[in-house]
Amino acid sequence: MRRVADRQYDLALFGATGFTGGLTARYLAKNGPAGLRWALVGRNRDKLEAVASSLKQVAGEGVPPPELLLADASDSSALARVAGAARVVITTVGPYALYGEPLVAACAAAGTDYVDLTGEPEFVDRMWLGYHGQAQRSGARLVHCCGFDSIPHDLGAYFTVKQLPEGVPLTLNGYVSMGAEFSGGTFASAINGFGRARQTVSAARRRRQREKRPAGRRIRSAPPRPRRDAGLGGWVVPLPTIDGPVVRRSAAALERYGPDFSYGHNVVARHLASVAATTGGIGAALVLAQLPPTRKLLLKGSRSPGEGPSEEVRAKSWFRVTFAGEGGGKRVLTEVAGGDPGYDETAKMLAESALCLAFDELPQTSGQVTTATAMGDALLERLQSAGISFNLQERSSSGL
C-alpha cells in the first residue's frame, strides 16, 4: 500500500464548474479545515477562476483559496498527474459511464482515494471489474455513490443494524420519501443509463460471476411487497435503484450484519395515481432512450447539464428514509432525514466523505468499497454534525 500523506493536495475536485460540483466547492470552502490544501480541476481556466473567485465570499476562517489545475476528463496523462498529486480525488463529472473511467484508472494506479456521486449501476460494476484488484494492490479506496445515492440508505442501514443484536439473522427494509427537483446533469445521467440497459445487465452478470460471496453467511434481497401503509402515509413500492445493492454489498463486507441478512428498498408515494404516473413515465423514458434520435429528443427537452433548481426551491426540498429492522427478538425503527437531497445535501455528503478519507482514522480497506465499509462510524459522526439526522424512533403501530 502506497503512502500518500506527503502528496501536494489533500483534495482535488473535478467538476466544480457544474451545478453540484459548484455546491461541493462552496461547501468545502465554507466548512473545510484550516489549512486545507485543495485544488479545482477542469479544462477551462476561465470557468475555474470564476468559481474560485466566488468562493472568497463564503470561505471559512483559515481555509485558503484552491489552486487551479487544468485537465480534461479524457486526458489520461493529465489525470495521472492530478491523481499523483492528491490524497483524495472528488469528481462530479457525469454521466460517469461516458466520462468516468479514466479518472478511476488514474486513482487506482496512483493509490489515491476516490469519491463520486454516481448512481449508475453499470459504471460501478465495470469499475469493480476493471480496477478493484489494482486498487487493492495500490491501497486506493474507490468509493462510489457518495451522494443521495447511496449514503442515506447505506449508512442508514448500517446505523439500524447497530441497534439490533449481533450474530443473529436480520431483516431490514428501507422506505424513501422526498420532495425535490432534478438538475440537467441528473436527468442526462438517467437517460443515458436507460439507453445502456444491455451494457448494465452485462456488467452486472460479469461481476456476479467473479465476485466472491461471504463464506458461511447469506446476503439477499427482501421479497417485494407493494402495499398501502397507513403508518408511512402512502403506498409502498419496491425501488430498483443502486441503493439496495450498495446496502447488500456493505452487509457482505461486514460481519456485523449477521449470518443471514435481507434488505428491501422501497419508495413511499402519497397517492397510487402518482405511483402509476411515475412508473409509466419511467417506462416510456426507458423505451425511448434505446434509440439515439428519441434519446436526443429527451435530453433536448430537459435542463442543460450545469443547470439546477434555484436556492429557493432547494430550501423547500427534503428527504426522509425510514428503516424497519428485526432480529433476535428485537424490532427497531430508525430515520435518516435532511434537506434538499439531490444537491445541497448531496454536496455535503460528497465533501464530508472526501474529508473523512483524507483526515479521519478509518478501518484498513482498499479496492472498491462502500461508504459503510470504508468510513462507517466516522462518516456517521461527520454527517450528524453537519445537520443530517440519524435517529432511533419509537416503535410505530404500522405494518412495517
What digits encode the pLDDT tens for the residues 1-31?
445 668 999 999 999 999 999 999 999 999 9
Average pLDDT over residues 55-78: 96
Pick the range with the lowest mean pLDDT from 88-102, 176-190, 239-253.
176-190
Pick the range with the lowest mean pLDDT from 10-19, 250-259, 300-309, 378-387.
300-309
In sequence order, the β-bridge partners of residue 352 are none
Average pLDDT over residues 27-37: 97
Average pLDDT over residues 194-216: 91
Render pLDDT for 275-296 as a digit per residue (tens, 0 to 9).
655 555 555 555 555 656 765 6
pLDDT the model gives residue 15: 95
Q: Residue 147 to residues 128, 244, 347, 393: CA-CA distances in angstroms?
A: 19, 14, 7, 24
Average pLDDT over residues 242-264: 97
pLDDT the model gives residue 274: 63
Average pLDDT over residues 353-367: 97
Average pLDDT over residues 48-56: 97
Contact 248, 221 (CB under 8 A): yes
| CA angle, 95 then 197 then 346, to 5° | 35
Separation CA 41–CA 73 (nearest Å): 10
Domain at 151-340+388-393, CATH class: alpha beta
pLDDT the model gives residue 278: 55
Closest CA to 199 of 146, 122, 128, 134: 122
User: Average pLDDT over the chain, rounded to whole?
Assistant: 89
Render pLDDT for 297-332 as a digit per residue (tens, 0 to 9).
655 655 555 667 888 889 999 999 999 999 999 999
Please identify which residue in the block is written with the cell numbers 413515465: 281
Average pLDDT over residues 156-177: 97
Pick the range with the lowest mean pLDDT from 111-115, 157-161, 308-312.
308-312
Higher-pLDDT residue of 39 and 298 is: 39
Q: b or e along 244-273 (b: 16 or more beta carbons within 10 Å of the residue's beta carbon)?
A: bbbbbbbbbbbebbbeebbbbbbbbbeeee
Average pLDDT over residues 204-218: 95
Domain residue spans in the chain?
A: 9-148+345-382, 151-340+388-393
Average pLDDT over residues 108-118: 97
State yes or no: cis peptide before 102, omega within 30 of 0.
no
Cβ atoms within 10 Å of 6's Cβ, excluding its own: 6
CATH code assigned to 9-148+345-382: 3.40.50.720
* pLDDT at position 271 over 80: no
pLDDT the model gives residue 310: 87
pTM of the predicted model as reported, rounded to 2 decimal places: 0.91
pLDDT the model gives residue 231: 82
* pLDDT at position 187 over 70: no
